[in-house]
Every structure is written in structure tokens, then in C-alpha cells.
Amino acid sequence: MTIERRDVLRSAAMLGLGLAAPAIGQPTRKLGYAIVGLGYYGLGVIIPQFAKCAHSRLAAVVSGDRAKAERVAREHGLSPQAIYSYANFDSIRDNPDVDIVYVCLPNGLHAEYTIRAARAGKHVLCEKPMAVSVAEGQAMIAACKTANRKLMIGYRCHFEPFNREAMRLARSGAAGKIRFVRSEHGFVQGDPGAWRLKRALSGGGSLMDMGVYSLQAAHYMTGEEPVAVTARESTDRRDPRFAEVEDMIDWTLEFPSGAIAGCLSMYSANQNRILLMGDKGRIELEPATRYDGNRMWTGRDGREREVTPPDAQANQFAGQLDHLADCAVSGREPIVSGEEGLRDMAIIKAIYRSAREGRTVRLERGA
Ligand code: NDP
């Protein structure tokens, strides 16, 4: 039996049952976000999304560039009191307009600003990767627990309609018993001065960036926790871009069911694809994890049927922002918690170790 149209329809019906809607609380007001780091993502991608949010709004900006912050504040109707620098960031505790701090800084600064935000009494949405080490991730979780604040990781694909539909199809058994997931993400990193290529700020190369998408997809497509990893790195160290971090790394994850995921990340070619193979069919996404324009197919041995989720127009960013606002009000745990980010940090550590030592590394469950 191949993946049938009825599976797609059944999945669509599940959407109608509310499985697609991450919103779980009903805030009576829009919760205020402070965006920390007015760069490509925080300023260019996230801030415009508040216009599409039901439960979230922009309440403050945190930046090392006062002139930029003043311009952004003016454009979004924020008062000068809603502008913070990194030096006076802690005084955000006195701003009742700010409920949630969204950390959009280079990876190496995620832990510091998450912990400072929690100590200031704010919930935290932290971009991926959660941190640059397992110890940092643990400290972030501890700080948020101590402050009784929510911590969510910016794994936006959990709110992206095509990825959500693919997860539901996989869980519904539409592809049969899952045997293999292929997940590949990369782009050509052209700027040798980019912080992504400086270990102190990035924590590593493509694995810490696009590799997180490959790793996440392996997890949410199989629905399993890996038990072992085998990795191999390929980096041209004569290339000045890769003096400090890796270019390409591929790794194999073994799951308890016997399923295997073959994952790849790289900074030297463009790639964005997820392919799940089961004994009854396959689910393929390409591009898989972009901001928009993702596409999905099902079939027995190829791209036989294109699948468009009923909520294909849903905005993943607004879904993500509103989900944490809802969790902050309802007290529920975000669907992408700090613990999930920490689990990934532990796997990333094992991937690097496996590549370095040239052997399979077994993963502690719940590490
Ligand atoms: P950018 O370099 O474009 O922006 C980072 C911003 O952080 C800077 O503009 C600056 O803001 C601030 N900053 C503070 N200290 C430093 C420093 N030492 N070096 C550089 N910047 C500093 O990065 P991105 O926006 O692309 O990435 C930020 C985070 O978002 C990363 O963790 C990345 O992984 C994540 N990301 C997630 C994406 C997703 O789809 N989920 C997509 C892209 C990025 P200011 O001038 O205001 O101080």
C-alpha cells in the first residue's frame, strides 16, 4: 500500500481537531516581547511578524547600536524607555510591559542573556542552537526554573505547516514502519568575517547552524530519541573561512526501533531537504525548512503526489511567538522546551566527539 490520499485527508482532519494549533492559552492581553539583538533575524525576520500575532506584541528592543535601536523604536511606536543596551539590560526587570525576552544574539551569548532575562523575571524565547555547550544549556534551564519562568527554543519548524503535516503523516503510519530519514541542510557561507565562523561566538561550524535543522528533523520525523551516533567531518582547513570551525559534517543516528537517520550540514553548498522512507511509502520535503515556499510530496518510490497542508498559509513565526505567550499565561510547557534544546546540545557534543575520535558514540538516554 502506498501513501493514500485518505491518509492525507485523515491528517487534514486531525488538523481540524486542533492538533495543528499550538495556541493553548487565551491571554486577555497581548504579551510584550523584548527583542535582544537587532540583526538579520531579530530585526529583519522576527520584528515584522508581530503585526500578524494574536497574543504577542513588540514591547522593547535591546541593542549595542543606540542609533539603530532608536530608529526601530520610532518605526514601531516604542518610547525611548523601551530601548535597552547590553549594559543596562538587567533593568528590564522594572519594565512591566516586557513579559518575554527573545534572545536573537550570536550563539555564544545565548546563555548569558537567557540567564539575565530569567533573573529579571522574564520568560525567555532563545534562538537555536540553545547554547554552545551542555553546561550552558543546563544553567539556562536551572535559571528559568529558579525564576519560575518558561524557556522555549526557537525551533520554528514545529510551527511550520509543511513540517507539522509531515510529522502527522509520519505518526499516522502513512509511510508505514519508518526505516530511514535523510535530512540535509546547508548554504554557502561566503563571508570569512562572519561571527558564525568564529568559534567563541558560534560554538562550531555548520553543525551549530544548519545542522540543528537536520538534527531536529531526524527527531521529529521519527518521533524517537537516538541511542548512538557516528559522524564524519570534511573541512578544507586551507580555506580561510574554516580556520576555526568545520565546513561539512555528516552523521548517522541510530534509533531504538531500528530506524536510522542520515544527516548532513555544510557551509559549502546549498541544500534544504528532508526525506522519510517507510515500508509503505515516503514523505519528502524540498525545500523543507525555509521561511516560506516549502513543498512536500508523498509516494511509493518517488514524488507521486504533492501535498499541501490545509493550513499551508499559517505563519510559523507568529505561531511560535503566540505559543510562548499562551504558555506564559496558561502555565503549560512550550512544545519546544529548554530540555529539548539541551537534548540536542548533548547529541551535538556526541557528533563532534564521534567525528574527532572516528568511532560510534553511544548516547545516554535523557542526556
Ligand atoms: P546577526 O549577526 O545578523 O545578528 C546578531 C545581532 O546580535 C547583531 O546584529 C547585534 O545586534 C547583536 N550582537 C551582540 N553582540 C554581538 C557580537 N559580538 N557579534 C555580532 N553580533 C552581536 O545574526 P543572526 O540574526 O543571523 O543570528 C542570530 C541568532 O539567530 C543566531 O543564534 C542564529 O542561529 C539564529 N537564527 C535563527 C534562524 C531561524 O530560522 N530560527 C535564522 C537566522 C538566525 P545589535 O547591533 O542590535 O547589538
Domain CATH number, residue 141: 3.40.50.720
Each residue's pLDDT tens digit, 263-278: 999 999 999 999 999 9
Q: Are residues 87 and 230 in the same domain?
A: no
| Residue 291 designated active-site | no
- Cα of 103 vs centre of ligand 1, distance in Å, is 9
Q: Are residues 222 and 240 in the same domain?
A: yes
Each residue's pLDDT tens digit, 307-353: 999 999 999 999 999 999 999 999 999 999 999 999 999 999 999 99
Block residue for cell numbers 499551508 = 312
Is 1 within the bounds of a domain? no
Q: Is the CB of 34 under 6 A from ligand 1?
A: no
Q: Is the CB of 208 under 6 A from ligand 1?
A: no
The average pLDDT across 119-126 equals 98
Q: ∠62-66-70 over CA atoms, to 5°? A: 85
Q: What is the pLDDT of residue 364?
A: 81
Q: Are residues 69 and 91 in the same domain?
A: yes
Q: Are residues 76 and 203 in the same domain?
A: no
Q: Are residues 98 and 136 in the same domain?
A: yes
Q: What is the pLDDT of residue 26?
A: 62
Closest CA to 244 of 193, 199, 196: 199
Q: Is the CB of 128 under 6 A from ligand 1?
A: yes
Atom of ligand 1 nearest to the CA of 69: 47
Distance CA 9, CA 7 (A): 5
Is 367 within the bounds of a domain? no
SS3 assignment, position 48: helix
Each residue's pLDDT tens digit, 71-82: 999 999 999 999
- Cα of 233 vs centre of ligand 1, distance in Å, is 25
Contact 134, 107 (CB under 8 A): no
Each residue's pLDDT tens digit, 178-196: 999 999 999 999 999 999 9
Q: Are residues 168 and 106 in the same domain?
A: no
Q: What is the pLDDT of residue 7?
A: 38
Identify the active-site residue in 33, 102, 155, 213.
213
Domain CATH number, residue 217: 3.30.360.10
Going 309 to 311 to 316 to 321, the CA torsion angle's sign is negative
Q: Are residues 22 and 121 in the same domain?
A: yes
Q: What is the pLDDT of residue 353?
A: 98
Each residue's pLDDT tens digit, 43-56: 999 999 999 999 99
Q: What is the pLDDT of residue 365?
A: 64
| Residue 280 designated active-site | no
Q: Are residues 145 and 71 in the same domain?
A: yes
pTM: 0.94
- Domain boundaries, position 222: 160-311+345-362
Distance CA 361, CA 367 (A): 13
Q: What is the pLDDT of residue 28?
A: 82
Tally of domains within the chain: 2
Q: Is the CB of 64 under 6 A from ligand 1?
A: yes
